[in-house]
Amino acid sequence: MDPVTNLRPPSERTYGLEHVAVGADVRVSVLSLKGDECVAWHWHSHISDIFFCLEGAAIVETHNPGNSVLVKVGDRYDVPPGVPHQVAPLNGKKCRLILVQGVGEADFHLGRP
C-alpha cells in the first residue's frame, strides 16, 4: 500500500478499480467485478464505503455471516467505519459500482477485526 495515498497498487488487487478523484479525506472510484473476482473481507477505521450500482448487481456481505445486501442498478448501500465487509458480483456476472470512501483518513485492513 502506498503510504502517501493509502491506495492499494493494482498488483495487490484481483479486480478493476479506477480512481476518479482522490483528495485528502475522500476518494471516488469505479469498481468493476466479474466472475469470481471480489473485494476480500476488509474494514476501515475511520471512513465509510458508499456503493452506488451502475451496472449489473453486487452482493455486499457484512461481518455477520449471512448478512448480505443485494445492490442493483440505481441502489445505494453504505458500510460504516469499523464494519468488516466483502463485495462480489451477483452470480459472477459483471457489475460496476461507484465507490465513495470518506470522509476522513483512508486505511484498508484485510480480514475481520
In-domain check, residue 69: yes
Instruction: Identify whether the C-beta of residue 60 lies closer than 8 Å to the C-beta of residue 87.
Output: yes
In-domain check, residue 44: yes
Question: Is the pLDDT score of 1 beyond 50?
Answer: no
Question: Is the pLDDT score of 11 beyond 80?
Answer: no
d(CA 102, CA 63) in angstroms, rounded, equals 20
In-domain check, residue 106: yes
pLDDT tens digits for range 22-61:
998 999 999 999 998 889 888 999 999 999 999 999 999 9
In-domain check, residue 3: no
* Number of neighbours of residue 109 by Cβ within 10 angstroms: 13
Instruction: Identify whether the C-beta of residue 27 lies closer than 8 Å to the C-beta of residue 21.
Output: yes
CATH (domain of 15): 2.60.120.10
Q: What is the pTM for the complete model shown? A: 0.83
Number of domains in the chain: 1
pLDDT tens digits for range 51-98:
999 999 999 999 866 689 999 999 999 999 999 999 999 999 999 999
Task: Name the DSSP letter for residue 65.
Answer: T
Q: Which domain holds residue 41?
A: 10-110
List all residues 6 or more positions away from 65 whose beta carbon is below 8 Å from its beta carbon: none
